[in-house]
Amino acid sequence: MTTDVSAGQPATIDFWFDFASNYSYLSIMRIEAAAAQRGVTVRWQPFLLGPIFQALGYTTSPFVAQKEKGAYVWQDMVRECRKYGLPWVRPSAFPRHSLLALRVALVGVQQPWIGEYCRQIMLRNFAQDRDIASADDVGEVLTQLGLPAAQILAEAQGDANKLGLRRQTELAQARGIFGAPMFFVGDEMFWGNDRLDDALAFCATMNA
C-alpha cells in the first residue's frame, strides 16, 4: 500500500520508547523498515519510563516487581527475537540506566542517524549485554556511527536538552502513556510491539 500524500498530511506515526524497555527493543529494530514499506514516517519520541511507572505505584519495572510475569517475559523475548530474526542475550542488569542515551536520542530525533543510533544502543543492551549508561558507553556508539561524539554528548547534557527530555516524559504522562513501546497515530494509541503492525496499517489507511 502506498500513501497518497496529496490526500492530506503525510502518514506519520509517533513512536514513544525507552532504551530500558525490552519490548521497545523489538520495535526499535523493526519500525523503520516496516514503516517504509507502508509509506509511513516515524517520529521518534524518547522518554523516561521510570517516572511514569513511579506515578503508577511501581518502584521498578513491573517485570521485576512481579516475579511470575518477569519470568515469563524472558521466555517470551527468546521466542519473539527468534520470530523476528533478532539477536538476543538476556541482560544481566535490568532495567538498565537509560537517561543519557535517551538525552542523546532527543538530540538526534531530527537527524538522519536517529534510527541507526537507537538500534545500536538497543543491540548493546539486549544482544551484547553491555551497559548504556555512561558517556563512554554512549560515546562509543556515536563514534562507531562516524558521529562527533564529544559534541553530541555536550549538547545532550546541556540544560535545554535536559529540560527537553523532562518535557517529553511529562507529555507522555499527559497523553496517558503507561508503558513502552507506545505508538500514536493522531489520537489513536497503540500499546506494545504486538500492535506495531496494526498501528502502521491504521496509519496508512488514515492517510490513503
| Among 97, 157, 191, 208, interactor with a copy of itself by CB under 8 A | 191
**HSE-up (13 A, CA, CB side) for residue 24:** 28
Beta bridge partners of 17: 46
Q: What residues from 80 to 109 belong to the interface with a copy of itself (CB under 8 A)?
A: 83
Contact 95, 64 (CB under 8 A): yes
d(CA 18, CA 136): 19
34 binds a copy of itself (CB under 8 A): no
66 binds a copy of itself (CB under 8 A): yes
Q: What is the DSSP string of 179-194?
A: SSSEEEETTEEEESGG
Applying CB under 8 A, among 4, 76, 136, 170 the residue interacting with a copy of itself is 76
| Site track for a copy of itself across 134-173, x = CB under 8 A | ----------------------------------------
Q: How far apart are CA 195 and CA 23, in angstroms?
A: 11
Q: Cβ closer to a copy of itself: 71 or 93?
A: 71
Sheet of 182-185, strand order = 41-46, 12-17, 182-185, 188-191
> Which window, 5-13, 30-38, 101-109, 175-183, contacts a copy of itself (CB under 8 A)?
175-183
Residues that bind a copy of itself (CB under 8 A): 56, 66, 68-69, 71-72, 75-76, 79, 83, 176-179, 188-191, 194-195, 198, 202
